[in-house]
Every structure is written in C-alpha cells, then in structure tokens.
Chains A and B, each alone.
Chain A
Amino acid sequence: MTSFRLPTGGLVDRNTTLRFQFDAKSFTGHAGDSLASALLANGVSLMGRSFKYHRPRGAVTGGSAEPNALVELRTGARREPNTRATMVELFEGLEAKSQNRWPSLEFDVGAINQLASPLLVAGFYYKTFMWPKAFWEKIYEPLIRRAAGLGSAVHAPDPDSYEKIYGHCDLLVIGGGAAGLMAALTAGRAGARVMIADEHARLGGALLGENETINGKPSIQWVQEALAELASMKEVTILPRTTVFGWFDGNIYGALERVNDHVATPPEYEPRQRYWRIAAKAAILATGAEERPLVFGNNDRPGVMQASAMRGLANRYGVAAGKSVVVFTNNHSGYATARDLTAAGVNVAALIDSRANAPKLNAGKVPVLKGAVVSDVEGSRNVKSVRVVNADGGVEEIACDAVAMSGGFSPVVHLSCHRGLKPVWNEKLAAFLPPDTGKELVAAGAAAGNMTLAAALADGAEKAAKLLTALGFKPKTAKPPQADGEPYAVSPLWSVQSQHKAFVDFQNDVTAKDLPLAAREGYKDVELAKRYTTLGMATDQGKLSNVNGIALLAGATGKSIAQVGTTTFRPNYTPVSFGAFAGPFTGHHFNPVRKTPMHAWAEEQGAVFVEAGLWYRPQWFPRAGEKGWLESVTREVLAARNSVGVCDVSTLGKIDIQGPDAGEFLNRVYCNGWSTLEVGKARYGLMLREDGVVFDDGTTSRLGPDHFFMTTTTANAARVLTHLEFCHQALWPELDVQYVSVTEQWGQMAIAGPKARATLQKLVDGITLNDETFPYMAARPVQIMGGIPARLFRISFSGEHAYELSVPADYADAVIRAVMHAGAEFNITPYGTEALSVMRIEKGHVAGGELNGNTTAADLGLGRMMSTKKDYIGRMMATREGMTRADREVFVGIRPIGQGQKLSAGAHILNVGDKVSLEADQGYITAVAYSPMLESWIGLALVQRGNKRHGEKVRVFDGLRGQHYDAELCDPVHFDPENRRLHV
C-alpha cells in the first residue's frame, strides 16, 4: 500500500512543516496532522504488531478506538507506552517508536508464532505448560511474560505535574459533534451553565471527516460558527482534548483534560494533564457511533481501514490511504467513502455492497457489486488485492492497495452503562442502543441511533431542551439547522466464509473460529467466552470487536444477539494515566505534613524527625561524635532521669469538653468514673470500644465545674473526636455537652526530671511550686514569663517528677527557648520519642504496642479501672467468656538472661523445652529498649497468664531474624516500682 499526501484538501495547515521521527527514521508532517496521518502521508502504513501472532498492523481507525497503531511516544522519563498514533497531535521534534517487536518492526522474530497458530488457538495455555511442574516459574512463565505486553514503561519518575479540579454545571455535553454542539447551543442560549467536552483537539466530531453541508454551507463552517457563539457565552466552558471517561453515582463524571500532550514538554507552571470531577445536574451523551469492521480473511492487513476513517483521512488530513481502493460495505455509509475518495482524486476500483437488495445509491462512477462479499485480502505487510465472491458465487480478484470496510455503526453507549444497566439490542439498526438512564443522562444524535446528520442536529437540540425545561430553564425551540445527506440503512453481515484467518479482536488476535471453539468447550455465556478467548480485553476494550464477537457467539450457541447480550461496560472509556488520578498528591505530597509549633526550634537542635501519623516528631537529638542513635537516646534518658529533660508533646490529641452534662458524658465514654474529679486535677482515663476491647487512653483534667480538657494518643486523636461525636449525636443526643478539638491551639512540652521544678519555677508567675501548691496530678491555668496565659499539668509519662506546660501555640517557640535557658544551669536536654519510649518501658506504661486492638483492660493490668456502677461504651461485651478467660495473653515485663543479650520486638514466647509450633505459642514481645538505668535490655510483652508468671524463665523465638534466646518474665515496672521519683 502506498499511502500519500493529497495535493489539496484537509484541515491541516500546509504552510507549516513539523519534523518527527518514527523508529529513528525522520519524516515531516503538518500542523493538524495526527501521528498516524503524518505516517500515512509519508507512505508508512506498518505501525505495529499484534499481541499473540505478531501480525503486521496499520491504523484501522481515525480516533481513540484504535487497536493496532500503538506507539511508545516520547523518550526518556516521558516515554508513554501504548499511545494511539491516531490520537497523537503531531508536534515539532516528536519521537515515537513501534512496540512489541524484536529486532525491528519490519523483521519481527515474534511473527513465527503465526506458524504455530494452529496450536495457539483461544485458551491453549490452559491445556499445557503443566509438565514438568518446576518449568512453569523457571521457563514457561518467563518466556510468556517477555512476549506479553505491548509497549514498555520506563522505570524513572515522571517529570510532569498533574492537577485535579471540581467542575459544576447545569448541563454537561459529552461529545462536540453535530448533536453535542446543538445541545450546548440550546442550553447556552437558555442561560444555563454548560460544559462541553470532546476528546479531540478540535470540536466537530464526525463532521471534521465528512463532506456534508449544513444550511447550505460546508459543515465545517457551521461548526466554527457554533463554536464562536459558544465561546461568547460567559456560562459555557469548552473543553477540547478532554475525554469524559466515566459516569459515577450522583451524576458525577470523571474527565481527563490533556492540557499539554500536544507539545513536546508542558510550559512552566502548567500541568501535563488535568483530572476533572464534574457534578452535573443533567448530561447529554453525544458520543456518536463507532464503525464496525467486517470479518473476512486477512481483514487485519495494513491498508484495511474503517470506511469512515479512510474518508476522514482524505477530508480532515488530506491523505489518501492508497492509490486504488475497494470499498466493502453492508450499509449506506460506504457510498460516502467512494464519493469522497473519487472527489479527492483517488481511484476507487469497486464498491462491494453485501446487500443483494441494496437501493440505488450515489457512488459516483464507482462500479457497485451488489450481493457480493470480499472473502479475503491478499498480501501480508500490505494489501495487494481482494478476492470477491459475487452474488452468483463467482469469484474474481480485484487489485487494490487499500480496503475501506463498513459493518454498520455501534452507538458509543459506554458511559450510559457504567452504573449497572445493559444496552438494548435494536434489530433494525443492528446495534445496541443506550438503556434508559432517566433524567440524569440522555443520549442524543448517533449515540441514540439517529444515524443521519439532520436527525442528529434535531435530536441534540430537542433532548437538551427537554432536560433544561425539567431544570427550570425556558429554552427557545428554534428550527434545527437544515442538512442533506443520505438516509442510513444496514443489513447485518457478521462474518464471511474465508480462506485466511478472519479477525474479530485485532489486538488480541481473536479470530472468527475462536468463538465457536469457546462455545463448543462449554464457555457459552458471553462473559465466559470473553474470558476464554480474551475478546474485548485489549487496550481498545472491544470497541471494534465486541458486537461482531457477540454475533458470532450467538451463531455458535443458537441464541439471538439480544439473548447473548453484552459484557459489562466499565470505566475508563479510554485509558487514563495513573498520574492524572494522583494529581499533585504523590511523592512527598502524598499526605499533608503536620508540624508542631516547636518544629523550627527542634530543627535548630539537630533533631532527627520521625513520622507520627501525619505529624513529624523529633525521634532523638544526635550530637557530634555520637556513634549512633542508641548513644544519643541513652544520653537523653540519663539527662532526664538525673537532671531535667524537655520533650515536645504537642501532637497529643486535645479536646475541650464543656456543658452541664460534660461529667456524665465522660462517665459514659470512659470505663472509669469522673464525677469525683475535683476542679484543678487530672485523671488517667481508659476508653473502650463497644466490643469491650481497649480503644484509647490519656489524662483528662477538670478546669471548671462544667469544663474538662481531654488528651488522647497522637494516633487516635481524630478517631476519638469522631467517637465522641457519634456517642453524643447518635446515642445520647439528650446530653447537654459541647466538645471541640483544641489540639492546635496549644503547644505542649513535658519538662521531666529532678530539676524540672527548679527550671519551671523561674518561668511561673505568682506561685512557689511545691507539693502543696502543685501536687501530683494538679492541672491548672497559670501565667508565665510575665503574662503569657498557660496551663500546667503535673503528670508524668516518664515516671520522673514531671510537668506538662501548655501555652498558646504562637508563643511555644519563645517559651521552649525560655525553658531551655532556665534549665541551662541544670544541663537541660531535649529528648525525643525514642527516649520517651525507653522511659515509659522502664515504668511499664502501656502505649500503642500494647493497645493493639485485641487487648482488654484486664489484659493490660487495668481491669480495676472498669467501673461496675455505671453504663459505658464496651461494658457489656467485655464480660463475654472469651474476653475474661484465664489463659488470655496479659501484660508483663521481660528481661533477657545472659550478659549483653538484646531483646527484639515481635519475637514470640515459648515455654522452655516446648517444640516450636503455633499451638505452643505463649505470646509475644510488644516493646523493647536498652535501659540505661538498669544497664540492660528490657521489654514488655503479652503472655498467657503473664501476670502469674513473674520470675519464670521462658524461651524467646525470633526465627525471622535467626535468633533464639532465654529470658525471664517480670513485673512490667522495671524501674522505681514504688514511684518514689514522682513525688520527690
């Protein structure tokens, strides 16, 4: 086939020259060309290789349904596999490579699969590769995986950026062709908010490729006038290069705007693509119809194209698909291709109309053979001739180098079937029409089966007017534009007796024989046949093949097409990049960062930060010369234990709870009691889930008769607030209680150690801190530094004499520097979460590791906190047999036996002498630390009947890290069990 640029015609800008490369060979094209049209203009018709048989393939369509002409577009980190050459707008310096071939497109070793094709029928792989067993992972599968896939993706991060945006409109018009433009005009003129989207760079849809007239003018001129009017309307948004890829609940549509895919690299500040989520009151599905191939021998050769695509090449791109063309059609539209190609100076050798009773239609001077069929194309890398079987059975050979085929039109129903409805078979149109999708989405034009231009224009206006009236607008019903053009009629021709393989699904190489084979083997349902043959499972998702395949399956199973039905239509209508869905929320921006008001100070102190939920918290503060984190952490612990340490605890959840029923509310969400808590005091609280398992813990202070201040763990802060909201609003709306997060109003720091009080005394105004004025668990507003309103809590997670100072966040930076200054004489030392963890493990306090979502209060040694005098969340379920059985894993301390032996969290506990097995499992280690105070590794664990086994020697199993060692269970309070340091 030698395709070529026609001397005149097309919408391309012939004054521009754009240089591009395909498989390292250089060519030129014009602005307005697609990569496919530019290649064809340069006589290149071989563009790809099919998936299984590696057959030579060229472009068969002119748009996004393209199954064959897939290329790797661009190079380096911007390489995009499987890009449809028919949808790539040519740009200067474009580079593309063919796919799925080795060593080259012309000489592809994979083509030998065609020799084995008798073996490689549908589903062959289910029947073999089973012997010898080990060969599968070693030999068979690696070979299959290397042969599979089309293009190759690059393993480098994407340099481009992507955006997300919400859209709102009264009417969304999907498709900018005749019906779509009329719908948008009708709505725009009625003052509605309209969005009109079209997947191509230019709106106009099929009109761009047709030679039709509207109101006596070329349809392209009408399109320009319509677009100009729409552009002048303030409330109309025109979105070219935008595919509405999915219809979702709430009449929400997903759309992909290819903002900068038509240029080499996106300009600065602009995204490559923008992902829209459009909430529409109503929408018009004006997506047109897709032309079906016909199923005859070698119908997959480069040069065989949809008839509409071939006339589109001439009318839109000024390119002829070949020197001598044969048109093969079972409907009226084939005649337009004959006329347009003849007008463009291309020889149309014959028009084969399979309908013996076809009416007299205008084919110009092209000879028409009625009741005839093309049984086979001859030629491999391009078309040489066609074998025609006439109505009387006689056979003749017609030389040609291109075949335009038309098997009728399938309305593009996809979106209308994305929410569970099935399309409806229409016998007269031999096509599936959209289901009734109510007032949310209404099909118009060819998508609704109106196959002529005049009908499409009228339908677009009428359907839009109906929707707008329902929305309360008053659209003017002007007379629709006048358009001539042929009527449309089709009589189905699902396949032709052929000598060569006849293809149904081009990309997955599904042939006409594969459907009867599937039916014969029991895969009769359309879904089973699809999965067994992979019909419609390629990157074009059956846009060209599904209806032909369904018809062949109907024939093979003796059912009607309506009975066979369609497989499920699913988003995305055409593939959408991962990057578009992710938008800006990738890499470091995957989740927002939350910083405490003392973050900058911690950075200055050289903190190493760790993620804590969305927060960053200092983990430790390394100093020059320290050989690793353990050395830094040990120093921090010793400083706090022996002098004074300061730690940023701002990330704790803080909830202000007020109102007459605040106390009662706490009683119902905590398992321990609150009515006896005096103003100015704090109390440790334990919160259960309704299933009786521990949910969260923290201290709550009473700041006034009806004013409490609750703290939660960092991890559960949001979940606890949500839980309070549920309990109040859904369970006990009668309670007069109000609560709001104040987590970020307060910067909070723990000041712990023997010199903590002396340090704080320098800052606190008007109080001499001692056990009377500020006893253990005191919690009161204070004033510091001559005027800053603060709150002071005498609470201790470290087990030291400690306070938590809370100041309004904007002052926190200055206050912690003042604290550091005040504590300088005591060598005050910042400590991080690791040191905090060492100290809480030394003191046997429970934390995240122990609140693992399966432990009860009793398991944690806190059973006595569970009140029996009041109802609270979780009380009843906590009494179940399994929750109180004796052999539950309970909280216990653990120490290694043997000098220098480390402990490892996640190791399991076995009785000494027991064989390693899950049945023998006694529990596991939840947390470990090196304790500088005991100069030994210590840990906490959950062990069956652990509280009764202090002093018992056990075997620790850590096979995962190849270590097993002995240890001893003990009291979880490893250090200062009498808590003397708290009260010193």
Chain B
Amino acid sequence: MTYSVFSLLKNAVTGHKNWAPAWRDPAPKPAYDVIIVGGGGHGLATAYYLAKVHGITNVAVLEKSWLGSGNIGRNTTIIRSNYLFPGNNPFYEWSMKLWEGLEQDFNFNAMVSQRGVLNLYHSDAQRDAYARRGNAMHMHGVDAELLDEQGVRDMYPFFNFDDARFPIRGGLLQRRGGTVRHDAVAWGYARGADSRGVDVIQNCEVTGIRIEKGVVKGVETNRGYIACNKLGLAAAGNSSEVAKMAGLKLPIESHVLQAFVSEAIKPFIDGVVTYGAGHFYVSQSDKGGLVFGGDIDGYNSYARRGNLPTVEHVIEAGVSMIPAISRVRVLRSWGGIMDMSMDGSPIIDKTDVKGLYLNAGWCYGGFKATPASGWCFAHTIAKDEAHKLSAAYRLDRFKRGFAIDEKGMGAQPNLH
C-alpha cells in the first residue's frame, strides 16, 4: 500500500484499522545468498539497493535488537557533502544526490530538509582551510559559498558578534546541506527492502561467523545457524567485536558521542550551524527542539552515555556562539557509539576472507553517508569489487600509507 495523502484519507475513514505493517517480522530461513549483519541505516540501505539496483533479493538483514536501534536512531540528523579530499568528496556528494530523491524513491517522508549547513570560521587560518575545502567542492560541482562576517550576520544576526572570545569572521555555507528525520530513514529503507522480499529479522544477534578454508559459510545467531554465500558486516558501534568473530582486528576505537535536544520552542534558528572556536553544532528539528552536540567524550566506550565535563564543554561553546540560548532549557542528552577510525574516514572493502565484506569506521559522520554507503556496499557485495566512489575506503590503506585524514590529526582515533 503506497503512502500518500489519498491512502491517509482512505484509512482515516476506517479509523486506520487497515494499515498493513510497514515490514514483516519473518523468522530466519536456513540460508540466504547474502546476509547483512546490522539492521541500522547502512545495513538496511545496503539490502534495499541490493534488491532495487542489483536484483538480489534472497537477502537477510540480522538486527540484534529492534531495527534502527543503533546510531541511525540516535544522531543529530545532519546531511552535507562539504568534504575536502578526492577520496571523500565524490562519495558524500553522491549521498546528497540520493538524499534529494530518497522520499519519492522509497515512498516514505523522511523529511529531507535542505535548509543549509554553515561552518563558522574565526581566523585567517580557518578561512584559508575552508577556502581550500570550498574550492575542492566546487571542483566536483558541489555547491559552496564563503561568507564573510556580514554574510553570517545577515543569516543569523543573534549570534555573538560583539563580545566573542574568538570573533566570528565568516563561514563556509553549503545551502544543499540540512537535516533528515533519522528514524524515518531506517523505517523507509526497511519497508522498501521488505517489500522487495528482503527478510528484515529483528532480535537476531550474530554470535559467531563460520569460515572454512578462508571462505565465509554462515553465521551463528541466538536463533540458530544461518548459511550464506556472502556476508556483509555493517554493525557500526560494534564493528570490532563482530569483526573479531572472523579473526579481523580493525584500525578502530569505539567512542561515545553525546548529543542533546532542548525543550521544543517556536522557530529560533533556521539551518545547521557549526562553531569554529569550540565543539558545538546545532539545528532546530521540525518539532521545535534545538538538536545539538559537540565533541566525543574522548575515552573508549560502548555505554551509549557520556559524562558531565563534555556536556559543559559543548554548552559553554554553544552559549558563547549564541548568547540568546542561555535561558532555553536542555531537555535530554543521549549517547551513541562512534567507530572512530585511525584517519577519520570509513572502510567499505572486501577482506582476506572470501565472501566477507566490511563496512565500518564511520566516526560521527555515518548518518549523512547512509544512502551512498548502502549503494556502494551493495555494489561491493554484488560485484565482489569496490565501487568507484568508495575505492579509497580500503582496509589496508593504513598499512600502505594512504590515510584519508581530513583533520590531519594522525593515528589517534579520538582526535578525528
């Protein structure tokens, strides 16, 4: 049943009793062509594109908890493609293109809102760095504008221009950037995959990976053994623990990133803004809550919750950027588990084990990459070769010395 104002009206008449479930709740079959581990955004998108683009539908997505319970269900919903390096920029721009057509593609209103992403800068050095990034975007046909202080003041006159410790000198603006209702992305992809025959199986935790003579055979789960020809790992927040089941040690440390929402208020700030002199970024959801965050806590964690020093650090930056939010109240804080990689860029690649594919290392930038990650991981699995757009995201890039280090912070995950 397609979703539209007409199906909504038709069902309103009958008290909404006849809506079909958005996805089935199937028991696992004994075997599949492809098994995806992880029913988050990337796993579900991969299954969706395997079915839609590659016609591979004998697929199962195994989620250990409820679908979308990972980072897709707990992020600050920002989408953008303002990346610097050739290994990143085209990939994230393709993701933006997919976002722009996604709702019509999987017939689910994920509220893709392109209200602009503005990165503030506070020094000549930062201006030059954003100029370098903006020019790289232009060279790939991606929209970018370099605003001076007046340009920022015109957009957000209530920012702190007069009493700032690090005065706002301008910003890099990507108008096509914005936000998306994160849960709806998981639900849209799940519904789209399920409607094409993919089994989305919740409460099914992978406990072991069976490999014989270097070839993947299947997975042990809490609901029995399931065989497969190809196995795609997309378990962000648990990548190392799952990869260990296949004897893989990854260039990743898992960290907690806290995010916050304020009480819902009338329209206060229109687009997404990131602070350049401290760790803070903010946007206002369609329900009116200021959704904001800043930096990871900095220590390894799987606890999906953080501590007060980071809360203070983020909010000191927030109030210094926007003095007017001082009296607004912080309603709720939460935490997600970030796979921080050794260069701040992800991994979409084959592995030494035949038929085993890895999608991991998204740091805190995984949400915006969801469509392109699904597209490229589906291609990698279907064709057993890297997609052109994700060719740089090789697992062995660190050993060969081809890090994609946008921040230039080196081999320490919590600095990216």
Interface residues of A (CB under 8 A from B): 51, 78-82, 118-119, 121, 124-131, 133, 136-137, 141, 144-146, 148-158, 160, 162, 164, 246, 248-249, 252, 254, 277, 418-420, 513, 517, 520-525, 527-528, 531-532, 534, 537-539, 541, 568, 570-572, 575-579, 581-583, 585-591, 593, 610-611, 689-693, 695, 848-849, 852-854, 877, 880-885, 904-908, 916-921, 924, 926-927, 957-961
B123 touching A924, Cβ below 8 Å? no
Considering the complex, give the chain A residue whose CB is closest to the CB of B277.
A590
A581 touching B21, Cβ below 8 Å? no
A921 touching B109, Cβ below 8 Å? no
Considering the complex, give the chain A residue whose CB is closest to the CB of B409.
A853
Contact of B158 among A129, A155, A693, A959 (CB under 8 A): A155
| Measured CA separation A473–B103 after assembly (Å) | 64
A581 touching B311, Cβ below 8 Å? yes
In the complex where A153-B265, A853-B405, A908-B139 touch, is A960 in contact with B144 (Cβ < 8 A)?
Answer: yes
| Measured CA separation A158–B323 after assembly (Å) | 6
| Measured CA separation A586–B327 after assembly (Å) | 13
B184 touching A919, Cβ below 8 Å? no
A246 touching B308, Cβ below 8 Å? yes
Main DSSP-derived SS at the A contact region: loop
B264 touching A588, Cβ below 8 Å? no
Considering the complex, give the chain A residue whose CB is closest to the CB of B288.
A149
B286 touching A148, Cβ below 8 Å? yes
16 sample A-B contacts, Cβ–Cβ < 8 Å, listed by A number: A130-B108, A149-B265, A157-B163, A570-B305, A570-B334, A575-B330, A575-B331, A578-B262, A582-B320, A853-B409, A854-B403, A854-B405, A880-B399, A918-B86, A924-B135, A957-B138
B288 touching A158, Cβ below 8 Å? no
| Measured CA separation A935–B216 after assembly (Å) | 67
In the complex where A121-B16, A153-B268 touch, is A525 in contact with B202 (Cβ < 8 A)?
Answer: yes
B323 touching A849, Cβ below 8 Å? no
In the complex where A155-B158, A157-B326 touch, is A124 in contact with B410 (Cβ < 8 A)?
Answer: no
| Measured CA separation A148–B261 after assembly (Å) | 15
| Measured CA separation A436–B111 after assembly (Å) | 41
Q: Decide if B114 is an interface residue (CB 8 Å cutoff).
A: yes
Considering the complex, give the chain B residue whose CB is closest to the CB of A692.
B401
- Of B126-134, B240-248, B369-377, B379-387, the segment with at least 4 beta carbons within 8 Å of chain A is B126-134
| Measured CA separation A572–B262 after assembly (Å) | 10
Interface residues on B, range: 35 or more
| Measured CA separation A561–B188 after assembly (Å) | 28
A576 touching B329, Cβ below 8 Å? yes
Q: Decide if B22 is an interface residue (CB 8 Å cutoff).
A: yes
Considering the complex, give the chain B residue whose CB is closest to the CB of A612.
B123
In the complex where A119-B8, A127-B8, A611-B166 touch, is A150 in contact with B16 (Cβ < 8 A)?
Answer: no
Considering the complex, give the chain B residue whose CB is closest to the CB of A916.
B139
| Measured CA separation A961–B158 after assembly (Å) | 26
A880 touching B400, Cβ below 8 Å? yes
| Measured CA separation A817–B303 after assembly (Å) | 58
| Measured CA separation A927–B68 after assembly (Å) | 46
Q: Decide if B90 is an interface residue (CB 8 Å cutoff).
A: yes
What B residues does A960 contact at CB under 8 A? 131, 134-135, 137-138, 144-146
In the complex where A80-B327, A908-B139 touch, is A150 in contact with B112 (Cβ < 8 A)?
Answer: no
Q: Which 10 A-B pairs have the closest CB atoms?
A: A853-B408, A906-B131, A149-B288, A882-B401, A880-B401, A575-B329, A158-B326, A525-B66, A157-B323, A579-B326
* Interface residues as binary, B100-118 with A (CB distance below 8 Å gives 1, 0 otherwise): 0001100111111111000
A527 touching B138, Cβ below 8 Å? no
Q: Decide if B23 is an interface residue (CB 8 Å cutoff).
A: yes
Contact of A527 among B4, B69, B326 (CB under 8 A): B69
Contact of A144 among B90, B184, B286 (CB under 8 A): B286
Q: Decide if B140 is an interface residue (CB 8 Å cutoff).
A: yes
Q: Decide if B250 is an interface residue (CB 8 Å cutoff).
A: no
What B residues does A136 contact at CB under 8 A? 111-113
Contact of A523 among B20, B22, B146, B307 (CB under 8 A): B22
* Known A154-B327, A590-B166, A882-B402; further 13 A-B contacts with Cβ < 8 A: A126-B3, A127-B3, A144-B286, A246-B308, A420-B305, A527-B73, A528-B66, A578-B325, A581-B330, A590-B317, A906-B131, A906-B132, A921-B139
What A residues does B187 contact at CB under 8 A? 126
A690 touching B264, Cβ below 8 Å? no
| Measured CA separation A81–B407 after assembly (Å) | 39
* Interface residues as binary, B67-101 with A (CB distance below 8 Å gives 1, 0 otherwise): 11100010000000000001001100000000000
A157 touching B125, Cβ below 8 Å? no
In the complex where A149-B267, A590-B317 touch, is A691 in contact with B411 (Cβ < 8 A)?
Answer: yes
A579 touching B327, Cβ below 8 Å? yes
